Amino acid sequence: MKLNWNVNANGKEKSRIGARGTLKVFGLLMVVLLLMSGCAASEPAEKLYVYNWGDYIDENVLDEFETEFNVEVIYDTYATNEDLYVKLKQGGTPYDIAIPSDYMIEKMIREDLVEPIDLAQISNFTAIDDRFKDLDFDPGNKFSVPYMWGTVGIIYNTAMIDEEIDSWNALWDPKYEKQILMLDSQRDSIAVALKKLGYSINTKSLEELEAAKAALIEQKPLVLAYAGDNLKDMMIGGEAAIAFCWSGDAVYMISENEDLAYVIPKEGSNLWFDNIVIPKGAQNVEMAHKFIDFLSRPEIGQKNAEYIGYSTPNKETLALLDPEISGDKTAYPDDADLANLEVLLDLGDFIEAYNRVWTEVKSAR
């Protein structure tokens, strides 16, 4: 609570106050001081700086955390893992919490950009399904706690496309010229091209990477836009017919437009995980642990899963979800649907080749 003061600096009236006026002024000052004391007591004692993907948390959850722990959450967002990495790598940022993806967590661990997590302080870690623990990018969950997971696939408008889509090749089909949306995301877009060609999304073959570049440049005249969060609105509004997207976004889009359908292409795709980390140099590590534990509560996970549309790794949260949600194959595919999927890995120094390829794709005419 803030009090705005308007002070009259004209001293001519002061001499006319008198004793009774002085008592009134003193009493008024006491009231104001009491009010200020009450306001000060209710103001958050601490701050927690959170850096997250856009539209990736129920804001009511943040309000609940602030109230319960008497803390002010300072919340910023980013659009890609690479944006997050650059911000944290530069240093000087105050973030206590971030939520990167698998390969970026692996990279941040290797470069000493994250603090270790004391799982003894995360009482709700037991609610996380064992399938999402101890994964290759963070063995033993020494540096991260699962937040959400999902797949990458194709979303298309069945009112605009009269065939069943099942292949990445559909994003290269000339009959959908200027009706195709691609994500403005380096690893994801290159991964789509690699899978289309039958290669691993983690290839370190320059020949295969150059073939992916050629495919993306060949596709570029067909692409309406390389989009970010606006991809959702464009697909919902029928501004485009087909796009590749993350499964959680597909859940939301389908809920807003019943003509939309989502498919994991037959060539395979990306299975991804977003985990919560504490960036190196965080100023409020104790409160960061409380926030991670809070987000891992089953009922808080339920609010987030219902709001975001992405898949929860929390088995107790999953049990709380409406069967219509937990039974949605877009968000919770069968194990057989996941068999041909890969997790993005940290490529080390070879990422520079990916950076070059993406720059050349974006600058191609």
pLDDT at position 8, please? 31
Query: How far from chain centre, in Å, is Cα 75?
Result: 12
- The tokens for 3 are 């009090």
- Which helix (DSSP H) or strand (DSSP E) does residue 312 occupy? none
The CA distance from 292 to 278, in Å, is 9
CA triple 168-104-60, angle to 5 deg: 90
Q: Do 155 and 83 have their domain in common?
A: no
**Quick check: 26 pLDDT over 50?**
no
**Quick check: 333 pLDDT over 50?**
yes
Q: Do 174 and 208 have their domain in common?
A: yes
The CA distance from 92 to 30, in Å, is 42
For residue 139, the domain's CATH number is 3.40.190.10
Residues 6+ apart with CB under 8 A from 36: 3
Band of the pLDDT at 140, cuts 50, 70, 90?
very high
End-to-end CA distance of the chain: 54
Asked whether residue 211 is assigned to any structural domain, the reply reads: yes
Band of the pLDDT at 292, cuts 50, 70, 90?
very high
**Quick check: 288 pLDDT over 70?**
yes
Q: Do 357 and 314 have their domain in common?
A: no
Asked whether residue 281 is assigned to any structural domain, the reply reads: yes
Looking at residue 172, the DSSP 8-state letter turns out to be: G
Band of the pLDDT at 127, cuts 50, 70, 90?
very high
pLDDT in tens, 159-182: 999 999 999 999 999 999 999 999
Band of the pLDDT at 281, cuts 50, 70, 90?
very high
Q: Do 234 and 322 have their domain in common?
A: no
Q: Do 176 and 187 have their domain in common?
A: yes
Model-level pTM greater than 0.85?
A: no
pLDDT in tens, 238-265: 999 999 999 999 999 999 999 999 999 9
The CA distance from 25 to 23, in Å, is 5
Q: Do 349 and 237 have their domain in common?
A: yes
Query: What is the tally of structural domains in the chain?
Result: 2
**68-107: buried (b, 16+ CB within 10 Å) or exposed (e) per residue?**
ebebebeeeebebbbebbebbeeeeeebbbbbbbbbbbbb
Q: Do 56 and 75 have their domain in common?
A: yes
Mean pLDDT of the region 326-345: 93
Q: Do 89 and 123 have their domain in common?
A: yes
Range of the domain at 256: 150-271+343-363
* Residue at 147: amino acid letter: Y
- The tokens for 196 are 């289309």
**Quick check: 22 pLDDT over 70?**
no
- The tokens for 144 are 């991260």
Asked whether residue 102 is assigned to any structural domain, the reply reads: yes
Q: Do 217 and 351 have their domain in common?
A: yes
**Quick check: 23 pLDDT over 80?**
no
Asked whether residue 9 is assigned to any structural domain, the reply reads: no
Mean pLDDT of the region 282-286: 97
Asked whether residue 326 is assigned to any structural domain, the reply reads: yes
Q: Which of 19-33, 163-177, 340-354 has the lowest mean pLDDT?
A: 19-33
Which residue would you say has higher pLDDT here, 343 or 11?
Answer: 343
Asked whether residue 224 is assigned to any structural domain, the reply reads: yes
pLDDT at position 44, please? 74
- The tokens for 321 are 């979800």
Determine how many CB atoms are found less than 10 A away from the CB of residue 324. Answer: 7
Instruction: Tally DSSP H helices, then E strands, for the chain.
Output: 14, 12
Looking at residue 341, the DSSP 8-state letter turns out to be: E
Radius of gyration in angstroms for the set of CA atoms belonging to the chain, rounded to a whole number: 26
pLDDT in tens, 198-238: 999 999 999 999 999 999 999 999 999 999 889 999 999 99
Q: Do 177 and 111 have their domain in common?
A: no
Asked whether residue 10 is assigned to any structural domain, the reply reads: no
**174-191: buried (b, 16+ CB within 10 Å) or exposed (e) per residue?**
eebeebbbbbbbbbbbbb
Q: Do 351 and 267 have their domain in common?
A: yes
The CA distance from 292 to 251, in Å, is 25
> What is the share, in percent, of the chain residues with pLDDT greater than 70?
88
For the chain, what is the mean pLDDT? 89
pLDDT at position 21, please? 40
**Quick check: 6 pLDDT over 50?**
no
Band of the pLDDT at 42, cuts 50, 70, 90?
low
Band of the pLDDT at 10, cuts 50, 70, 90?
very low
Length of the chain in terms of residues written: 365
**Quick check: 18 pLDDT over 90?**
no
Query: How far from chain centre, in Å, is Cα 236?
Result: 20
Q: Do 134 and 282 have their domain in common?
A: yes
Asked whether residue 39 is assigned to any structural domain, the reply reads: no
321 closest CA partner among 298, 295, 337: 298
Helix axes 81-90 and 102-110, enclosed angle (nearest 10): 20
